[in-house]
């Protein structure tokens, strides 16, 4: 009987502890980071120009039907802008990656920002 009491107390303590952990984790806030949209404003769609962060301007642009032909917009985390509190440009270290679509036409296919959202468009 003594052992049964100890065992049931241990089981009760374990269930109670698990209930506390589960209820407290339900109230933790998620760390939402700011994201910023940039649109492509380069002179052409060559690989070097598409990958150049200075050719991307803060703001939005209508992209039409998304397709992987030429770049349109990217949505990046605030870690990849020049000033997270008041951004004006992409961070030069974002390492934009481009993939060839056609002769001298490239589109954005990735970057150091794994959560970046890419919208390419038809030319």
Q: Are 62 and 79 in contact (CB under 8 A)?
A: no
**Other CB atoms within 10 A of residue 58 CB:** 14
* Percent of all residues in the chain with a pLDDT value above 90, rounded to a whole number: 67
Distance from C-alpha of 73 to C-alpha of 8, rounded to nearest angstrom: 60
The predicted model scores a pTM of 0.73
Binned at pLDDT 50, 70 and 90, residue 56 comes out as very high
| Average pLDDT value for the chain | 84
Whether residue 32 is predicted with pLDDT greater than 70 in this model: the reply is no
What's the mean pLDDT in 24-53? 83
Whether residue 17 is predicted with pLDDT greater than 80 in this model: the reply is no
DSSP H/E element including 51: helix 47-51
Question: Picking from 11-15, 44-48, 52-56, which range would have the lowest pLDDT averaged per residue?
Answer: 11-15
Domain boundaries along the sequence of the chain: 1-30, 35-121
Distance from C-alpha of 46 to C-alpha of 102, rounded to nearest angstrom: 10
């Amino acid at each position: 009987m003594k052992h049964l009491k100890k065992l049931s107390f241990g089981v009760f303590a374990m269930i109670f502890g698990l209930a506390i952990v589960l209820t407290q984790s339900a109230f933790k806030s998620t760390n939402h980071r700011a994201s910023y949209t940039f649109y492509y404003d380069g002179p052409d769609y060559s690989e070097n120009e598409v990958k150049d962060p200075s050719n991307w301007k803060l703001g939005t642009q209508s992209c039409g039907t998304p397709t992987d032909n030429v770049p349109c917009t990217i949505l990046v985390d605030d870690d990849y802008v020049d000033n997270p509190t008041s951004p004006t440009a992409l961070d030069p270290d974002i390492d934009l990656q481009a993939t060839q679509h056609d002769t001298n036409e490239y589109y954005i296919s990735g970057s150091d920002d794994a959560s970046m959202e890419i919208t390419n468009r038809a030319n």
